[in-house]
Chain A
Amino acid sequence: NAGVTQTPKFQVLKTGQSMTLQCAQDMNHEYMSWYRQDPGMGLRLIHYSVGAGITDQGEVPNGYNVSRSTTEDFPLRLLSAAPSQTSVYFCASSPRRGGYEQYFGPGTRLTVT
């Protein structure tokens, strides 16, 4: 199993550009989530999904969209990038929401200039 994969590893955007961060898992997990990690802030939840077709907002959803058309994929879209979105983004999955360990991808380091 590849586990949780994320692409790209690094990305530089200009303010106002849009892009999609890809996340895929091959463990047939129902629950997938996106976090951002900023220096000294730990991880903050952006959006999550409890299954195909079902998504919900986390703590910091503004400026981001998600969709879950398949069990395997959970892309994160930045609609109009802003410097405040410079961060490291992690995708994670687990069999269910709550009470299970989460498997993390390697992360995408995004810089918005």
Chain B
Amino acid sequence: SQQGEEDPQALSIQEGENATMNCSYKTSINNLQWYRQNSGRGLVHLILIRSNEREKHSGRLRVTLDTSKKSSSLLITASRAADTASYFCATDGANSGYALNFGKGTSLLVTP
């Protein structure tokens, strides 16, 4: 069954603003990953955070992980129109046989 649940389902912002997406999951995990999917394309890996890490940065991306609350957030700073895409969190752990479980995604629209 799907482990992650992203919130909000859809987000619309203007260029230059920050975008925050949240992910909650149900069972203990080893790792949590965020992926981006442009319309009609495959998924592209953004960042992986391990269960013993609390925060990770990659360029304009900042991911936090709170294992006590079973939640993660993805912050995109200074958004650009090219950031328009769907964003998915995915978790893996012993409960899933270490296979990735994806959430349903957040659809982000960045308008010029």
Residues of A within 8 A of B (CB): 4, 33, 35, 40-45, 48, 56, 58-59, 90, 92, 97-107
Question: B100, A104: Cβ atoms under 8 Å?
Answer: no
**Using Cβ atoms and an 8 Å threshold, which residues of chain A touch B93?**
98
Contact residues of B: prevailing secondary structure:
loop
Q: Which of A4, A43, A98, A103 contacts B88 (CB 8 A)?
A: A43
The interface residues of chain A lying within 8 Å CB-to-CB of B88 are: 42-43
CA distance A104 to B92 in the complex (A): 17
Cα distance, A106 to B41, chains bound together (Å): 6
Q: Which residue of A lies closest to B47 (CB)?
A: A101
Q: Does B33 contact A (CB under 8 A)?
A: yes
- A101 touches which of B30, B45, B102 (Cβ 8 Å): B45
A99 lies within 8 A of B92 (CB): yes
